[in-house]
Amino acid sequence: MRFPLNPANWSRRRLIVALAALALGAGAVIAFFVLRDSTGDVHRGDEVEFTTPQKSKPKETTLDWPFYHRDLAHTGFLPKRVPPPYRTKWVWGGKILMEFPPIIIDQTLYYIRNNAQAFARDAKSGRLEWKKRIGDLAASSPAFWNGNVYFATLTGKLVALRAEDGRTRWEKSVGSRTESSPIVSRGTIYFGSESGTLYALRAKNGHIKWTYHAAAAIKASPALANGILYFGDYSGRMYAVWARNGRERWSKGTSGLRLGLSAGNFYSTPAVAFGRVYAGNTDGKVYSFSARSGELAWSKSTGGYVYSSPAAADAAGTQPSVYVGSYDGNLYALDARTGAVRWTAAAGGRISGGPTVVGDIVFVANIDSKNTYGFGVRNGTRRFHFRRGAYNPVVSDGSRIYLVGYGSVTALEPRKRR
Global confidence as pTM? 0.89
Res. 398 pLDDT band, cuts 50 70 90? very high
Q: What percentage of the chain carries pLDDT values higher than 90?
A: 83
Rounded mean pLDDT, 114-142: 96
Inform me whether the pLDDT recorded for 298 exceeds 60. yes
Inform me whether the pLDDT recorded for 16 exceeds 90. no
Rounded mean pLDDT, 28-47: 67
Inform me whether the pLDDT recorded for 248 exceeds 80. yes
Q: What percentage of the chain carries pLDDT values higher than 70?
A: 87
The pLDDT, as a whole number, for residue 53 is 85
Inform me whether the pLDDT recorded for 156 exceeds 50. yes
Q: Distance from CA of residue 65 to its chain's centroid?
A: 15
Res. 184 pLDDT band, cuts 50 70 90? very high
The pLDDT, as a whole number, for residue 418 is 53
The pLDDT, as a whole number, for residue 147 is 97
Phi, psi of 119 (to 5 degrees): -135, 150
The pLDDT, as a whole number, for residue 348 is 93
Which tens digits make up the pLDDT trace of 54-105?
A: 765 556 656 899 999 999 999 999 999 999 999 999 999 888 999 999 999 9
The pLDDT, as a whole number, for residue 262 is 63
Domains, the chain, with CATH or none: 35-53+62-414 (2.130.10.10)
Inform me whether the pLDDT recorded for 15 exceeds 90. no
The pLDDT, as a whole number, for residue 267 is 96
